[in-house]
Every structure is written in C-alpha cells, then in structure tokens.
C-alpha cells in the first residue's frame, strides 16, 4: 500500500472520533496495539537496528493489526530516532492503516503554547498532513488551556486527543497530585476533559477527548476525589498485561468508567512477532481477554 500523492483535499471523517472508537472497540475488543520499534525488540525479531529493520517491523505490524484491532498506536520517538527516513516510514504506516480503516493513535505527547501548539495540531491532525492520525497524545503541563489549538482542530476534523492525566511513572505523582487550593493538577485535567466532552455526553456518546490513566496507579483516583466516569472519555490505560495490573487494580482505578477503558499493549502483543500470523493471533487473544476483563471484572490477561 502506498501513500497517496493526490492533491485532492481529503474529506474529514464523517463521525466524531469517540463514536468511531466505540464502534471499533465493540467490534474488535478494547485493545490498542502498540507499534514500538525500539532496538531491543528489533533485535528480538532478528531485525537490524537500522532503517531496513524499521521498515520490515512496521510492515509486519500493519499486516498483522490492520482490520483486527480497535486501534493501533505507533510510538513516534522510535521512528524519529532514524531521522527523516524513519519519519517517512511512520507516514507510510499511518497511511496504510488509514487505507484499511483501522484507527490510529499517534503517541507524540506534544505540549506547547500559542502558534507553536497550532503548528503541532496541523502536523498531526490537519486535513492534508502526511502524519495525520485519528488521534494523538498530548501533555497538558503548560496548562489545560494551552491545548486549545489541538482540541479545536481535532473537533473540526473529527479526530481525537488523549491528554496525559494520571500516568504510572513514579515521577508523575509529584506534578499530577500537586494541589493549588482545593484542586489537584490531575483534577484540572479531568475537569477540562469533562467540559470538552459535555456535548457528546448529553447525546449519550463517548467523547473524543480522552485521557491517559495508568492501570497501576492504585488509589490515586479516589484519593484525589476524581470522577472519571463523568468525563465520558475514552481512557487509554497502559499497565494491563505485561505490567501486571489485576482485575482488582482495574476496578480500583477506573470504577464506573471501566467500560470506557482502551487498554494499551505493546510488549505483551509484540512478543509474538515477527511471524505475522502469530502476531495477529496474539492480538486477537489479548483483545478477547480484555473484553472479558473489562466487562465482567474477571482476571486481567
């Protein structure tokens, strides 16, 4: 599959990202499969840590995941480390997944202000951007309002945004749990997402502004007095699978919002490569296990 070179303006998606994501999760299970071509994984697959290895890795992942999972999440950094040639492969990877209708979440975690943030918005969400994805990750730690250029363009284009809210890295709590008066930093993020999803919530739809919430953060949501369910947000949840989150962990973190969880899995799925059939089968199995876990509270895969 090749990147289109047509000058015709592409049409934006005909429905909001949240609606399309819910449909994909219902059809394929709540799995977001990562494409993380770091050096150790390329080596494990018997591929060289160079542009040829990156190219082969990406093609295998696209062949295995396209049409099989709810969403695919390429990690931009592992493509960028190869310079312009790596970015070109990322462009092709996004285009190939777009061509078959599989949703993409580009993990870029951008965060800036003003016209610079507007530039990032155009780079990843613009109608003709070569790197356009269905959704991207962003960092709100210059203030939730600094995300407005991305949030507005995403809404205009029918795309999505996942805002870092409560991450599982040990350093995250020092910022995310900090309070200014009665409200925590994470609370301000949840409040902003809730407001941006209000129209979708009134219509009974999943919002298009999501949050990244680690599955292994324990009692943080309750301790900070946060209501994730009220945000009507898709919740990208690292930590399920290889990082060992249990069903009890999931209930503690997500509570009534458990049905909105989109579980991010990279190592757990990619370990089945490089054989395409094995990789595809592992993705299907993980997605099925996650569907059971997140709908019934059974044991996490």
Upper half-sphere CA count for residue 150 (Cβ side, 13 Å): 33
H or E element: which one contains 273? Answer: none
178-203 burial: b if 16+ Cβ within 10 Å, else e? eeeeeebbbbbbbbbbbebbeebbee
DSSP assignment of 176-226, as one string? HT-EETTEEHHHHHHHHHHHHTHHHHHTT---SEEEEE-TT-TTHHHHTT-
> What is d(CA 168, CA 160) in angstroms, rounded to the nearest whole number?
22
Structure tokens at 20: 């399309």
For 128, phi and psi rounded to 5 degrees?
A: -115, 10
> What is d(CA 265, CA 287) in angstroms, rounded to the nearest whole number?
10
DSSP letter at 48 equals: -
Q: Which residue is catalytic, options 38, 59, 109, 284?
A: 109
H or E element: which one contains 264? Answer: strand 261-265
Q: How many CB atoms lie within 10 A of CB 250?
A: 24
Tell me if residue 73 is catalytic. Answer: no
The position carrying tokens 């949703």 is 103
Contact assessment for residue 35 and residue 66, using Cβ atoms and an 8 Å cutoff: no
List active site positions: 109
């Amino acid at each position: 599959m090749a990147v289109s070179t047509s000058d015709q303006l592409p049409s934006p998606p005909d429905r909001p990202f949240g609606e399309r994501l819910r449909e994909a999760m219902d059809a394929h299970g709540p799995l977001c499969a990562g494409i993380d071509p770091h050096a150790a994984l390329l080596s494990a697959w018997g591929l060289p840590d160079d542009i040829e290895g990156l190219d082969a890795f990406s093609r295998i992942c696209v062949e295995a995941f396209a049409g099989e999972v709810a969403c695919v999440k390429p990690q931009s950094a592992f493509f960028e480390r190869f310079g312009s040639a790596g970015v070109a492969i990322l462009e092709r990877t996004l285009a190939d997944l777009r061509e078959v209708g599989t949703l993409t979440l580009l993990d870029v975690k951008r965060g800036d202000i003003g016209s610079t943030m507007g530039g990032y918005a155009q780079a990843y969400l613009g109608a003709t951007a070569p790197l356009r994805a269905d959704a991207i990750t962003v960092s709100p730690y210059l203030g939730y309002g600094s995300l407005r250029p991305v949030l507005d363009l995403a809404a205009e284009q029918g795309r999505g945004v996942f805002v870092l809210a409560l991450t599982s890295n040990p350093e995250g709590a020092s910022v995310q749990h900090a309070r200014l008066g009665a409200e925590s930093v994470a609370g301000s993020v949840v409040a902003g997402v809730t407001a941006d999803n209000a129209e979708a919530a009134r219509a009974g739809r999943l919002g298009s502004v999501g949050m990244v919430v680690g599955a292994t953060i324990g009692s943080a949501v309750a301790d900070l007095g946060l209501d994730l369910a009220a945000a009507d947000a898709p919740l990208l949840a690292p930590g399920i699978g290889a990082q060992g989150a249990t069903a009890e962990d999931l209930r503690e973190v997500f509570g009534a919002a458990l049905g909105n969880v989109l579980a991010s899995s990279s190592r757990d799925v990619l370990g089945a490569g490089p054989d395409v059939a094995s990789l595809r089968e592992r993705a299907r199995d993980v997605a099925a296990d996650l569907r059971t876990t997140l709908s019934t509270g059974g044991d996490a895969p």
